[in-house]
Structure 1
């Protein structure tokens, strides 16, 4: 009885002709897996790039909105300073004008710099004054908590 050289022996061991087929199959499977992994890596990089672009666009939009809000606040403060001068006295109005000028300067800075420059400025400020940065973060967190709590309350009378 002749046996096919590409089959296994009756004891389950591979015949010499079957070994190259197994090695070729394993190599093909390995190459296919490597190609799949590389494809996943490429897709992940594309998604990360897309997410980064979307985040930068959102940050730029937020920066512009913040600058506009600061300009509006500066205008409001300037009007309030005039009223304070009339009702209380020039000293109080001067403080309000200084605050308005500071708000305008901050708005101008926001408009003139891109997001990357602002992030680098923030990093530098934190490195120079870490205690102030922690205090400012705590204060901002407290204010945001208050704003969101007030915004989420409904009138239950």
Structure 2
């Protein structure tokens, strides 16, 4: 058996290794074309890595586009829901403002008789006119749509900027005083 072992031995002093394909290769220093072959394999591995990175980039881009479209769709749906809910709340707020003006008009009209007794009929007429004005404002708010009211408010501000700033300042002052307590 010792004789058979010697015939199967290789006489090369270069250690053999196997590559990814399972082929036996020697070290680059021992083989004359080994350095060239190593460079070739390194370049092919590098090209393969670049191709893999390119494929991953393409896949990531496709996924990002899909997520972007999905987010846009959901965003549009949420925007529509918010717009509908905002419209409902605006109509409800308009109705409540109208009711508040109507209630205030009734209170002012009820107190007109007391003003007649205490200050005279001239001042009582002013109070009744104010009550009618409040009732007319309530009716106006009730009959107009939210968009029409917004347009009227913008037009008023364009025509009367000084008065608009004064009203805003007074309203802010009153609200600040109410919430301070």
TM-score of the aligned structures, taking structure 1 as reference length: 0.81
Q: Does 1:137 align with 2:168?
A: yes
1:87 is aligned to 118
Q: Please give the alpha-carbon distance, in whole angstroms, between the structure 2 residues aligned to 1:130 and 1:39.
A: 45
Distance 1:54 1:98 in 2: 37
Deviation per CA, 1:91-139, whole angstroms, max 9, x where unpaired? Answer: 0101101110110011001100121111111111111111111111111
Q: 2:157 aligns with which of 116, 122, 126?
A: 126
Q: Is the radius of gyration larger for structure 1 or structure 2?
A: 2
CA displacement 1:11-36 (0-9 Å, x = unmatched)? 65124xx6655444322221110110
From 48, 51, 68, the equivalent of 1:37 is 68
Q: Which runs of 5+ in 2 are unaligned?
A: 1-17, 22-39
User: Within 2, Cα distance between the matches of 1:149 and 1:54?
Assistant: 31
Matched, 1:14 2:14: no
C-alpha displacement at 1:77, in angstroms? 0.9
User: Where does structure 1 differ by over 6 angstroms across 4 or more consecutive aligned residues?
Assistant: none
What is the number of equivalent residue pairs in this alignment?
Answer: 145
Distance 1:109 1:59 in 2: 15
Distance in 1 separating the partners of 2:113 and 2:130: 13
Question: Hey, what does 1:101 align to over in structure 2?
Answer: 132
Unaligned runs of 5+ in 1: 151-157
Q: Distance in 2 between matches of 1:60 and 1:9?
A: 74
The within-5 A match list for 1:68-79 is 68-79=99-110
Shift of 1:73: 0.8
Q: Identify the structure with bigger relative contact order (alpha carbons < 8 Å, sequence gap 6+).
A: 1
Q: Distance in 1 between matches of 2:77 and 2:172?
A: 33
Partner Cα distance (1:131, 1:49) in 2:
36
